[in-house]
Amino acid sequence: MTQIKICGITRLEDALVAIDLGVGALGFNFYPRSPRYISIRKASYILEKLPPFVTKIGVVVDFGPAREVRRLAQVLGLNGIQLHGNESSDLARSLKPCLVLKAFRVTEDFRVTSLQHYPASAILLDGFVAGKFGGTGKTIDWSLARRASRFHRIILSGGLTPGNVSEAIRVARPYAVDVASGVESSPGKKDFRKMRMFVVSVERADREAHS
């Protein structure tokens, strides 16, 4: 079964609807330059109101030394950290036992073999747009993601929508899919209908894969 993460949560109502739809993981973006940025105070308010058994991921971009990243996770009760900048493998390794996801922006010269030694629980592959870290709405080569799964557990991201996620799963066969802009009415504001359609499309792809 393909796991689903909805990223860029900034409103409690969006988080609760996503959970009701069966989404297993929510992402909270602590990168100040992101249009989906959320303050620690606001994130704390949302997180403390969430039900149990929901995976809560903090998204950071070159946030600082490992002790600061660990403190963020501890203060907010996060289940894991998504490193979305230029973080080294040494930093990722020093965050354990915290769950670590590492995002790689896929450029034209990207090599899937570069993933095999990165110490993360899963690798997120995202579209590359210069100067932006995630939420770009740009798709990647889904067949590349499938090749990458030989070296790591893959979370497919980048330009996914209710309209293309079924095909993306069919081609890439990822462990999970991650969506932000594809289920929004505006940056940081989720569209409940789009979220529902996205989940239905993922479930359809999984049924077809096992039929």
Q: What is the pLDDT of residues 87-98, one digit of tens each?
A: 999 999 999 888
Residue 105 φ then ψ, to 5°? -85, 125
The answer to whether 80 and 99 are in contact (CB under 8 A) is yes
Among residues 14, 98, 126, 178, the one annotated as catalytic is 126
- pLDDT score, position 109: 85
Residue 128 has pLDDT above 70, yes or no: no
CATH level 3 topology of 3-209: TIM Barrel (3.20.20)
Residue 130 has pLDDT above 60, yes or no: no
Q: What is the pLDDT of residues 173-205, one digit of tens each?
A: 999 999 999 999 999 999 999 999 999 999 999
The answer to whether 177 and 168 are in contact (CB under 8 A) is yes
Domain ranges for the chain, please list them. 3-209
**Mean model confidence pLDDT for the chain:** 93
- Find the DSSP H helices in the chain: 12-20, 40-47, 66-76, 89-94, 142-148, 165-172, 192-209
Confidence grade of residue 66 (pLDDT, cut at 50, 70, 90): very high
Mean pLDDT over 28-38 rounds to 96
Residues 6+ apart with CB under 8 A from 13: none
State which amino acid sits at residue 162: P
- pLDDT score, position 114: 85
Residue 9 has pLDDT above 90, yes or no: yes
What proportion of the chain, given as a percentage, has pLDDT over 70? 95
* 126 part of the active site: yes
- pTM score, whole prediction: 0.94
Among residues 7, 14, 98, 178, the one annotated as catalytic is 7
Mean pLDDT over 19-43 rounds to 97
